[in-house]
Each structure stands twice: as C-alpha cells, then as structure tokens.
C-alpha cells in the first residue's frame, strides 16, 4: 500500500509541475517498479561510479527520441538530479508520464518504460551495459543454453570434394550416435533422394522433424556404401562442444559458446576422445564470444588441476578469486586456438591456460573484453545487463582493450574452413606444434640402451 501511495503522489506532483489536470493517468505500478529496479541496479552495481545527472539526461534523450520516431511533437522539460535515488526515480517517472501525455494513444506505456530503462543503461556509455526486451533476453538465453528440437543428432557440413553432405559430428547418445553414425561419414541420400549439391539448410530440414517420426539415410564410409539406416527422430538439445579425432591421435574440441552445459559437454567430449586413444588436445575458441563466468571456470578446470582461474574485481575494489574445481584430466600436450573474435569467457579460459602453463595459445590476438556482466531479469520477461566487475588473469593481467597475445602467432588464411587442417592454417600449425610436443615427450621418455643397461626382454 505504501508503494501505491507513492505512485499516486508522483502523478499528482507531475500534474502540478506541468500545470496539467490532476486527473492525468499515473505510470502503472509494474512499469514504475521496473524503472526503479533498473535505476537502482545500475547505480549500485555498475563497476564504476555513476553520474546521476547523466542518467536523467539520458532518460530524457531516449524518451524524446521515441516521441520523435512516432511523430509526436513537444519537448520534455530538463530533468534535475536530486540528493537521493528516490528523488531521481520520481523525476524519471514524471518524465515518462509527461511523454505519455504528449503521445496519447500513439505510444504504449510499456514502450515508454522500455525507452526510459534503455536511457538509464545508455547513460554510462558502456557497450555491454544494455536493456534487453523480452525477445532479446530469450534469444540471449537460447544462444547460451541451446534449444531443443526434433532430429537425428547429426551435425553436418558440405563435403567439398564430393558435394555430398558430410557428418562433422554426432550428438552423444542421440539417434545417430546409437545407430553407429560416425564423424566423416558421407550422407549420400536422405529418404532415397540424393544429397549431391544440397545446401546445409536443405539437408537439415530433411533430417529434422517431429519426435517419433522416421528418416532413412544412406551412408558412404571409407568409399564403401553401407546399407540404408533408418533413424527415429528424438528430442535433441543443441550442443556447444563439438569433438573429432585428428590424424596422429589428436583430439579436437571446438566450443561455440560458454553456456550452462558447456563444461559438462566438454568433459563428455574429452572422455570420448580419450577412449578413442587421444594423446593430446586442440581446443578451438575462435569466434567464441564467451558466455557465463562459471562456464569459463568449469572449462578451464578440465585442464588446470589446481590454483586460480580468474580474479574478479568489483566496484568497491573487492577481489574474488575463483579456483580450479578439481576436475582436470591427466596432463597432456594442449594447444588453444584463438582469434580476434575470441572474447570474454573465452579469454578468461585462454588467459588461465596461458598463465598456468598447461597449454600453448596459437592464432591471433584476442578481442580484449576484460569485464564481467551480470543480468538482472525484470518482471515482464525483459532484463538489464550491467557490467559489474573487471577480471584479471591468474598472473593479475588486465586484458581489457588489450587482448591476449598468442604464444605462437599465426594469421588466418583466406576463406578458412575451421576444423579442416587442409583449409585451416591456424589448425595446421597447432597440429605441427602438438606433433612436435609428442615427439619430444616420446624421445625423453624412451629407455636408455647400451652397455650395462640391464637384462634383455
């Protein structure tokens, strides 16, 4: 009831200041609550001190832009920061109500609210601190956490040599995996129709379908045609880790994002590759824009047995150090591929591996995003994403706007096919590095022979 009274009072004050009728509608309680929450989240959680007057100026500008876009004439009065957050929130509420009166039915209250919240976020001029509409927030979650669909569990690509559809990966325990479909198999036909010259989208549309329905594929493996295989489509969860075995018993894992399941998916991939005899690993983080901080710690912990992974420094200069979680595999040669689009959580992992010395970074300098964002959901499905801290690598390196310089710099070739050593110069160099490391390890561990070396076996 106290909150309701405050909102009504806000409406009355607005009418008095603008010399408008007292009966003018106040900002709906749910909208006012989201504005207040967003304002408080920014001013208390943003990793730098926030200028309240700049926030109010940005809100006014954002609302004015919305009115102009809707061809609404009239100017909003300047907003003035007070001495308390409550006073500043009232100023924002008044501005939204004033914009609503000017717009009439041309603009919905929710759109005015979103414009105000966007203005609040834009005030700090931080590209990562933004307002997310319900659609944008849902898409962000789907991108990080994956989606479910009916399908066969086959990851496909076009085979350049034959123009058929090639299997680049299979989803663990999916229909294709259970049926024995393997990496590098060629799908020459789907339901009797040749796939020669098909696009990836066309093939994907034929492989996907309602759960429980069937699809028959014809496979060519090692230049031999296999009997047609009928698969029953099932619910498939979009994965973020793709694995395959490279020549020389080198396991290759490519991470598309750092989602909530990525660390577990990586553990599964590494285990599968180990069972197939992998002696070393290449982890591909190119074009990986990051994701959850917890996922970066989980992924890094698969290779770093103990010690710090990353230190997070908040606005109050409080530093929290996150340690490896005791899930590391046995140490083997490791190379990590990076490029200019390797960012955020990918850089946390790259920096931790580089600083700890458990692997070698290969490629080009990374993006340089050394700050951490926290997402604060709002009541209607929208959210605000705010930069709340900066992070430091285990050796206390701040890589923001600097990036991580690889141990071995290799430029990207023209029109690369990531994951294919024949058309991927950076991967080819990583394979060379791994082979050299394996050769060195074999040489240093070979038994010494000669006079007095012991009994013959």
Reported residue count of the chain is 457
CA distance 373 to 46: 9
pLDDT of residue 450: 44
196 is a catalytic site residue: no
Please write the tens of the pLDDT for every residue from 430-439: 999 999 999 9
- Residues 217 and 186 sit within 8 Å (Cβ to Cβ): no
Locate 5 and state its tokens. Answer: 């009274």
For residue 427, the model assigns a pLDDT of 98
Q: Where are the alpha helices (DSSP H) in 46-196?
A: 52-69, 85-103, 109-122, 134-145, 175-178
Q: Which of 337, 336, 353, 311 is nearest to 411 (CA)?
A: 337
Domains of the chain, first to last? 2-125 (no CATH), 148-237 (2.30.42.10), 241-443 (3.90.226.10)
Do residues 310 and 391 touch, judged by C-beta distance below 8 A? yes
Q: DSSP label at 152?
A: -
φ, ψ at 449 (rounded to 5°)? -115, 160
Q: Which positions ≥6 away from 448 have C-beta within 8 Å?
A: none
Return all residues near 406 (Cβ < 8 A) that are at least 6 apart: 338, 361, 362, 363, 364, 365
* Residues 13-52 pLDDT 10s: 333 333 333 333 578 899 999 999 999 999 999 999 999 9
Which DSSP letter does residue 25 get? P
Q: Which of 244, 302, 369, 385 is catalytic?
A: 369
Q: How confident is the model at residue 69 (pLDDT cuts 50, 70, 90)?
A: very high
Verdict on whether the full-model pTM lies above 0.85: no
Dist. CA 408–CA 430, nearest whole Å: 9
What letters, b where the CB count within 10 A reaches 16 and e where it falls short, cover 29-67?
eebbbbbbbbbebbbebbbeebebeebbbbbbebbbebb
Question: To which residue do tokens 């994907």 refer?
Answer: 204
Query: Would you give the distance in Å from CA 326 to the centre of its chain?
Result: 24
- In the chain, the percentage of residues whose pLDDT exceeds 90 is 81
Between 453 and 248, the more confident residue is 248
DSSP helix/strand/coil, 348? helix
**Tokens 């991967």 sit at which residue?**
427
Cα distance between residue 178 and residue 166, in whole Å: 18
Across residues 96-109, what is the average pLDDT?
Answer: 94
* Residue from 58, 240, 300, 344 carrying the catalytic annotation: 344
Dig out the tokens for 401 from the structure: 């706007």
- Distance between CA 55 and CA 215 in Å, rounded? 57
pLDDT tens digits along 72-87: 999 999 999 999 999 9
Mean pLDDT of the chain: 90
Rounded Cα–Cα distance for residues 66 and 443 (Å) = 69
Per-residue pLDDT band at 146 (split at 50, 70, 90): confident
Q: Give the helix ranges, DSSP H, for 240-292.
A: 262-275
Say whether pLDDT at 454 is over 70.
Answer: no
In the numeric block, which tokens belong to residue 90? 């009232």
User: Which entry of 185, 261, 355, 424 is annotated as an active-site residue?
Assistant: 355
Q: Express each pLDDT in 380-402 by its tens digit.
A: 999 999 999 999 999 999 999 99
DSSP, collapsed to helix, strand or coil, labels residue 431 as helix
pLDDT of 319: 93
Q: DSSP strand E in 118-238: where?
A: 130-132, 148-151, 154-158, 165-170, 186-190, 193-194, 214-221, 224-225, 229-232, 234-237
Task: Please confirm, yes or no, whether 369 is among the known catalytic residues.
Answer: yes
pLDDT one-digit tens code per residue, 159-211 = 888 999 999 888 888 999 999 999 889 999 999 999 999 999 999 999 999 99
pLDDT at 447: 62
Q: How far apart are CA 274 and CA 427, in angstroms?
A: 20
Quote the tokens at residue 312: 């997070």
Distances in whole angstroms, Cα of residue 409 to Cα of each of 82, 146, 405, 430: 53, 32, 8, 11
Q: What is the mean pLDDT of residues 126-130?
A: 97
pLDDT exceeds cutoff 90 at 10:
no
Q: What are 357's two structure tokens? A: 């010395």
**For the segment 264-307, what is each residue's pLDDT rounded down to a tens digit?**
999 999 999 999 999 999 999 999 999 999 999 999 999 999 99
- Structure confidence at residue 16 (pLDDT): 31
Q: Tokens standing for 77?
A: 């009065």
Q: Does the active-site annotation cover 284?
A: no
Higher pLDDT, 360 or 422: 360
């Amino acid at each position: 009831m106290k909150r309701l009274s405050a909102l009504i009072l806000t409406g009355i004050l607005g009418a008095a200041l603008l010399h408008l009728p007292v009966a003018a509608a106040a900002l709906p309680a749910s909208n006012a609550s989201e504005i207040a929450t967003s304002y408080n989240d920014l001013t208390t959680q943003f990793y730098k001190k926030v200028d309240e007057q700049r926030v109010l100026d940005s809100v006014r500008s954002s609302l004015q832009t919305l009115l102009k876009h809707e061809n609404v004439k009239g100017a909003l009065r300047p907003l003035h920061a007070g001495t308390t957050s409550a006073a500043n929130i009232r100023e924002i509420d008044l501005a939204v109500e004033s914009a609503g009166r000017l717009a009439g039915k041309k603009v919905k209250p929710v759109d005015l609210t979103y414009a105000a919240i966007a203005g609040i976020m834009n005030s700090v001029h931080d590209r990562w601190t933004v307002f997310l509409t319900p659609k944008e927030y849902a898409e962000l979650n789907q991108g990080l956490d994956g989606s479910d669909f009916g399908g066969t569990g086959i990851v496909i690509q076009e085979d350049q040599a034959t123009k058929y559809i090639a299997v680049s990966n299979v989803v663990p325990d999916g229909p294709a995996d259970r049926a024995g479909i393997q990496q590098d198999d060629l799908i020459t036909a789907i339901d009797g129709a040749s796939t020669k010259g098909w696009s990836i989208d066309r093939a994907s549309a034929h492989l996907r379908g309602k759960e429980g329905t069937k699809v028959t594929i014809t496979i060519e493996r090692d230049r031999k045609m296999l009997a047609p295989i009928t698969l029953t489509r099932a619910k498939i969860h979009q994965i973020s880790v793709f694995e395959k075995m490279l020549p020389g018993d080198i396991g290759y894992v490519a991470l598309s994002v750092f989602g909530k399941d990525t660390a577990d998916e990586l553990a599964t991939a590494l285990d599968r590759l180990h069972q197939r005899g992998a002696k070393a690993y290449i982890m591909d983080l190119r074009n990986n824009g990051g994701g959850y901080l917890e996922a970066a710690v989980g992924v890094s912990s698969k290779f770093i047995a103990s010690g710090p992974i990353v230190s997070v420094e908040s606005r109050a200069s409080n530093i929290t150090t996150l340690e490896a979680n005791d899930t590391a595999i046995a140490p083997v040669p490791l190379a990590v591929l990076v490029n200019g689009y390797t960012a955020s959580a990918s850089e946390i992992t790259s920096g931790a591996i580089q600083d700890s010395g458990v692997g070698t970074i290969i490629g080009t300098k990374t993006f340089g995003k050394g700050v951490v964002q926290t997402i604060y959901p709002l009541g209607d499905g929208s959210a605000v994403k705010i930069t709340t801290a900066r992070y430091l690598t285990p050796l206390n390196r701040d890589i923001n706007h600097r990036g991580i310089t690889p141990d071995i710099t290799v430029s990207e070739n023209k029109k690369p096919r990531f994951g294919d050593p024949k058309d991927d110069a950076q991967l080819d160099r990583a394979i060379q590095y791994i082979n050299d490391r394996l050769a060195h390890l074999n040489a240093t561990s070979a038994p010494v022979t000669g006079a007095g070396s012991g009994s013959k076996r």
